[in-house]
Structure 1
Amino acid sequence: MDNKVHALVSLLSKNSFLTLKEIETETQSTRRQIYYRIEKINQELSGTKIEVIKSSITITEDIKNNLKNLIVENAETDYFLSSKERQLYMYLLMFIGAPYLSLNHFIDNLKVSKSTVLNELKELEKICNSNLIEIKYDRNKGYSLEGNEIDIRRFMMLEVINMLSKENNDKFFDLFINENNLDIFQYSKLVIQELSNLRHIEFVEDRIAEFIYIFIFLKARIANHKEIDISTDFVSIMQESTNVEIMKKTKEYSFVDDLIKNYKQGFCFSEKEKLYLTAWILGLSIGNPEEDTDDCLTIANIVDRMMYRFEILSGVQYKNTEDIFRKLYCHLRPTYYRLLYHLPIVNPLKDKVKEEHNKLYRIVLETVKPLEAIFTHEIPEDEVAYLTMHFGAIYANREIVKINSQKVGLIVCSNGLGSSAILYSELINLFPEIHFLKPLESTNINHIEEDYDIIFSTTYLDESSLQDKPIVYVRPVMNMQERYQVVREVCMKLKTSFSNIPDIEKIINLVKKYGTIENESGLANDLIGYFSLNEQEKKEGLMLSQMADPRLMNIQLEASDWEDAIRKSGQKLVDYDYATPNYIDEVINSTKINGPYYVITTNIALPHVKPMFGALKIGLGISILKTPIVFGNADLDPVKYIFFLTALDNETHLNALSILVDLFNDKEFFNCLSSAKTSIEVSEYIIKFEANKLSKS
């Protein structure tokens, strides 16, 4: 069974119903290829075969069980490497440092022709060069990697993370380990789990495998390349940012010390290598706000600043500040060390987060900008996407009351707190009739005491221990197509009617009778999106131009001090029934107690308080001060532009504020504000800006 047939078997085994169009999208295959692979699968199946009826496939439980047996039976058979896997295999051979690597070694290991090896080597050289790594050949030494040691390691780490997170392919690494006599994965896993329990170090479940494989390859390289000295770049970064003696006192350093003692090659690890591994563990493990560590105040201060800034930029009012702080701390501590030591990170959900939660992503992107000054470089998009998922927990933070007649859903998510929060919120919106228990990792599923009717899981589960509970496999972040499939799957699993979920292909065929469809896939996605959303989701968020009523604007406003500026800029909100006078008073009182917390960047203030203090309608007053005024923020004063917000909830205004955040980075917008003679000029600029963004999306 080749890899593509195996991928189709895996897909079919996790679903009860799929259309051919959905399979085409999921597997990036043509319909002809799908039919060919189904025929191949049927040849392997005993009993009931897979049938395509009206361009769709219904997968019964009998067929599912046979498919799962097929996966198990083929686990020990030959594995066919893809072109990308062959290139990674060659890189890993050079990385671990076999004594001598010739062309024949590659041919023998990969079991392919000389021309194939040369072609793969040529492609690999291009990729390596783009990552500042050279592949060198020497008659005496054979093929080897040359370049900065940190770059060589970073590339290996990124490839391992990519392969595991995006392609879920641990079989490739097990094959490489077995064929090259490296440390056995299961042994390393047992050692690491035992030591992490001993040292109270917690990993996100999905990151454990990533850590183990990278450690195995890195240890082999250190053992075989005794002459390698870790890059002075890393050592200088560490000396500048960390007290080495303090680092040696951490539980992560003790963990590394214990870990390498469990291997024969442990003596090969120099003190620099131990510090490198310690930094890496700090960048992988989950932070604990209850621990009194040397860095706890630093991390807590960063979390506080981020929560504070996000609250101002988004207009969100936190309901459970302590819980949100704890969750962000858990994620921010490893993020801090990854950014500090330039450690690689891959977020397989990045593109989906940017697409499905774009408004929130843009606000978080602006939220993290002050962090760039700490690390002297931009925050990678992968990190911003992870933080977006964690801030998404704010919207999942609601009171859920179980009704006795409700079905109960269990969420199993091994991708971390942020993914769990996003998925929890998503499923609550999709299935208001199901009561959901709080998400847990797959390792804890057998310890749960509550009863449940259905499982939603992001990871493959051993169904033999789950008492025949129906399982629906989901993605941590779903697009419209995937939401539609999940709703359909749940209806089939729970044997409920899904007459409210139309057959999209039938609708498209009906439309074709009366006209030409220029973009069939686009129409299909829009229909899926519409029928998948509940009524609350169908309500579009407000545009900024709708919130920023020209009547609420003040052009060249004169004020004597910050309090006068707040009163005058907020008065129009009162005049036009967007807020009560008490709302303005509360902003002033809060400023006197807490300082000018709403001065978010140079020259810009975004004052607002909780709706309970007198917000009547959603609005945004814009005031341009004739003379900039000192508000009391030494770093960002004086203030020239005041954006006075009134919000009624945490979500309705989010779209508008994501546009406002984009405008904060648009120099032409501030040129417009400074030169405007009337509020209509400002309003027209905002409308044009929105139109441009919509045309590009």
Structure 2
Amino acid sequence: MNARQEKIIELLRESGGWMKGKDIALVMGVSTRTIRNDVETINASLTGAAIESSFQLGYHLKTQEAPVSRAKSVIPQTPEERRSFILKQLLRHRDININDLPEKVCVSLFTIESDLRVIRQWLADSSDLHLESGRNRIRLVGDEAAKRRLYKFLLSQEVEENFLNMDTLNELYPDFDLTEIRDLLAECEKRHGIEIRETAQSMVLMHVGIALTRVLNFNPMERVEALKDLQETPQYLAAREFWDKIARRFQVTAPEPEISQLALLFMGKGSGNYYKADTIPVNGKDISLEDLTTAMLEEVRKLYGVDLTTDSKLQEGLSLHLRGLLLRLRDRTQVDNVYLEELRWRFPLIYDMGVTASRKLHEILGIQLDPNEIGFLALHLGAAYTIHRKPSKYRAVVVFPSDQALATVVIEKIRRQFQDRMDVVAVLDAYEKKRVEDLNPDLILTTLPLDHGLNVPTVQLSVFYSQENESQIFQQLNRLDKNRQKDIFQHRIRELIKPEYFLETLDASDSEDVIRKMCQPLVKAGCIPPEYADAVLEREGYAPTSFAAGFALPHALNVTIRESAISVAHLDHPLQWGDHSVDFVLLLAIREEDRELLGIFFDWWIQIISDPLRFGLLKEKNGYAAFVQAILEEK
């Protein structure tokens, strides 16, 4: 099966019911005939007919256990996958025979030669590498560091957004088993009494994977800033033991800078105590990391109304990160941020905070960060913002008439799992309508079928509390999240997106032309000042707001807006916008007084793009009324 056919299975699984062929075709961007052919291929590839067809109802997945592999097909399915395959072959071998490639990727020699022309142009535009050919053989020529950067780029493309899946991560590193490395790391941490949060452990593991790849390719870190008393710490001893075992396992030398860097990662925010000074030289001046951090957080406070300046943990962590960032810039080294696409896609408001912080850094030091570094800043700010935001928790009442000891165990588990989102305000052994009404719950959890007349969602649990129950509660909380802001959003959306701000077909030459044309109706209506387009372009200069799904969300930072509005445009033809091709644009202009509305918008947008069918309907050019209906889920 190819990637599209796997996506059809996933789409039907998520739907849980019947889907019309035309709806699937809309999501996939192909004809209904192609969908019919794909379904036949799927059913021929799997044991038994996995997808049932009906002339009236469409298609549905007969079994929810239909095997869907997230891995790429062995044979590249698209031109992009084919070119990536060729580049990886060139990176892994000194040279390759051009005549062998058609058989490996199941295309003609003419197609291979066409692919090589595209690869040559891409390398010329984006790297210091180039292809050399002769006697039917071809090889990749250039600096070894540039080759490694290309290899890491190709690997990160394979992972897509599934960066916390160990099986997927493992495929990034063909030279070793990342699961084995993880277990070895955990063993060393345990032996030296080091405890690391699960979220931080993922970051440490990613660092170790990249560092080990670098060492195995004879390109270890050559130096690290001189540190005081670091070698006496348990974190250093654990890092030393880990790298010593790695050295024996892979027959390499354990580099001292890599040991020190891993020790600092183990320490997390406490690593700041081991540096010689609280300043770092930049362009001939000693820069106070504390002052720099404070200035960046103050800029975030002014723009977003979120005061993180008193968060000492964030100050320490951000200062430590800035030290490493400035050293990387000084040494002209780069790091890849595997979290970047996930962050930009799922948390655009958080990513924008990173852009704001990077803009302040540029203002103070004259240094402009790339999107990877902006993403790292956003990770720090996002973690602190999540804690700071603390939306009000939902109130849950539990009706559990079973054994009291068992009830205590189950309820304690529920409290522990959902403590950040829900408070269990009462535990009852029987349902009493008046008592439950007085408690005013948002959610009722019960182990018995419960028929009540209250307008309160109810989740029936097993007395032994299964993983399915955990999932049911999680899904219900997500539905409550969705409904919490729905009334506000539905009331405001027609005010924000007026017919005169909706451009059903926009002919533009490039992204700048799109932005300037979309600003015109908002300027005419008095919503934004004439210079707003320039401010949007300045924001795009820090990091383009385009996404792989084919849309862009341009907006400005720190500009006075007279009236909140959103301009919508369907482009006459796709345009290259940053790294992505875009045909659908929403230009945002939200007043400072409506900051909360920006958060509501992004919450809504995440729901939209997470639903392929709904997103497909939104992108259809059916006019303003149909667009608003798709937004509000009106039937």
TM-score (normalised: structure 2)? 0.50
Paired residue for 2:38? 37
Give 1:288's match in structure 2, choosing from 269, 272, 276: 269
What pairs with 1:359-398 in structure 2 (closer than 5 Å)?
364-372=354-362, 377-384=367-374, 387=378, 389-390=382-383, 392-393=385-386, 396-398=389-391
CA–CA distance in structure 2, aligned partners of residues 55 and 375 of structure 1: 62
Decide which of 243, 258, 263 is 2:244's aligned counterpart.
Answer: 258
**Aligned pairs (5 A) from 1:85-484:** 85-96=81-92, 98=93, 100-104=95-99, 106=101, 110=105, 113-137=108-132, 143-166=138-161, 182-195=175-188, 200=194, 204=200, 214=210, 218=214, 221-222=217-218, 242-243=225-226, 251=236, 254=240, 257-258=243-244, 260-267=246-253, 275=257, 287-289=268-270, 292-294=273-275, 297=278, 302-317=292-307, 321-322=311-312, 341-346=333-338, 347-349=340-342, 351-352=344-345, 357=349, 364-372=354-362, 377-384=367-374, 387=378, 389-390=382-383, 392-393=385-386, 396-400=389-393, 402-405=395-398, 433=442, 467-469=467-469, 471=471
CA contact (8 A) 1:14 1:473 kept: no
Q: CA separation of 1:409/1:518 partners in 2, compared to 1, >3 Å: closer, same or farther?
A: farther
Q: How many Å apart are 1:82 and its aligned residue?
A: 3.6
Q: Percent identity?
A: 12
Structure 1 letter corresponding to 2:268? G
For structure 1, the 5+ residue unaligned runs are 223-228, 414-420, 426-431, 437-451, 456-464, 475-485, 492-496, 502-516, 521-541, 546-603, 607-618, 620-649, 659-697
Partner SS state of residue 469, structure 1: helix
C-alpha contact 2:299 2:357 (8 A) present in aligned 1: yes
CA–CA distance in structure 2, aligned partners of residues 184 and 376 of structure 1:
42
* Uncovered stretches (5+) of structure 2, i.e. residues with no partner: 280-288, 400-410, 423-440, 446-457, 488-501, 506-525, 530-557, 563-590, 600-635
Deviation of the 1:409 alpha carbon: 8.5
Match of 1:71 in 2: 68
**Aligned residue type for 2:357:** T
Q: 2:6 maps to what in 1?
A: 6
Contact in 2 for aligned 1:338/1:344 (Cα 8 Å): no
TM-score for the superposition, normalised by structure 1: 0.47
**CA displacement 1:356-401 (0-9 Å, x = unmatched):** 53xx765653333332378753122344356164464266324526
**What is the rounded CA distance, in whole Å, between the counterparts of 2:247 and 2:274 in structure 1?**
25
Determine which structure has greater relative contact order: mean sequence separation of CA pairs < 8 Å that are 6+ residues apart, divided by chain length: 1
Query: SS at 2:369's partner residue?
Result: coil
Q: Which amino acid aligns with 2:275?
A: D
Secondary structure, counterpart of 1:403 in structure 2: strand
Q: Which amino acid aligns with 1:342?
A: Q
Structure 2 CA distance, aligned partners of 1:470 and 1:25? 34
What secondary structure does 1:369 align onto?
Answer: helix
Counterpart code for 1:316:
V
Q: Is the 8 A contact 1:287 1:331 kept in 2?
A: no
Cα distance in 2, alignment partners of residues 171 and 112 from structure 1:
30
Q: CA RMSD in A?
A: 6.1
Distance in 1, Cα, partners of 2:415 & 2:35: 33
- Give the secondary structure class of the aligned counterpart of 2:141: strand
Give yes or no for contact 2:228–2:276 (8 Å, CA) kept in 1. Answer: no
Distance, in Å, in 2 between the alignment partners of 1:80 and 1:50 is 28
Q: CA deviation at 1:64?
A: 1.2
Q: Is the 8 A contact 2:3 2:72 kept in 1?
A: no
Aligned residues: 436
Contact 1:314 1:657 in 2 (8 A): no
Please tell me whether residue 654 in structure 1 is matched to residue 635 in structure 2.
no
Classify 1:63/1:213 alpha carbon distance in 2 versus 1 (closer, same or farther; 3 Å).
farther
Listed one character per residue, the Cα deviations across residues 465-505 of structure 1 (whole Å, up to 9, x for unaligned) are: 9643374899xxxxxxxxxxx889969xxxxx9xx99xxxx
After superposition, the C-alpha distances for 1:10-42 in whole angstroms (9 at most, x for unaligned) are 343344358557755654444443343234334
Q: How far apart, in 2, do the equivalents of 1:365 and 1:88 lie? A: 30
The answer to whether the 8 A contact 1:286-1:333 is kept is no
Secondary structure, in 3 states, of the residue corresponding to 2:140?
Answer: strand
Counterpart code for 2:91: F
User: Per the alignment, do residues 122 and 396 of structure 1 end up closer, same or farther by CA in structure 2, a change over 3 Å counting?
Assistant: same
What is the CA-CA distance between 1:261 and the residue it aligns to?
A: 0.9
**Which residue pairs with 1:46 in the alignment?**
48
C-alpha change, 1:82 and 1:657, in structure 2 (3 Å) is closer
* CA deviation after TM superposition for structure 1 residue 76, in Å: 11
Q: Which amino acid in structure 1 is aligned with residue 156 of structure 2?
A: I
Report the Cα offset of residue 172 of structure 1.
9.1
Q: C-alpha separation between the residues in 1 aligned to 2:355 and 2:172?
A: 39
Query: Structure 1 residues 173, 120: closer, same or farther in 2, change over 3 A?
Result: farther
Deviations 1:437-461 (A, max 9, x none): xxxxxxxxxxxxxxx9699xxxxxx
Superposed CA deviations along residues 311-333 of structure 1, whole A, max 9, x for unmatched, are 24433345983565577679767
Q: Deviations over 1:598-650 (max 9, x none)?
A: xxxxxx9x9xxxxxxxxxxxx9xxxxxxxxxxxxxxxxxxxxxxxxxxxxxx9
Rg larger in structure: 1
CA 1:248/1:142 → structure 2, altered by over 3 Å: closer, same or farther? farther
User: What's the CA shift for 1:343?
Assistant: 1.9
- Whole-angstrom CA distance in 2 between matches of 1:320 and 1:90: 51
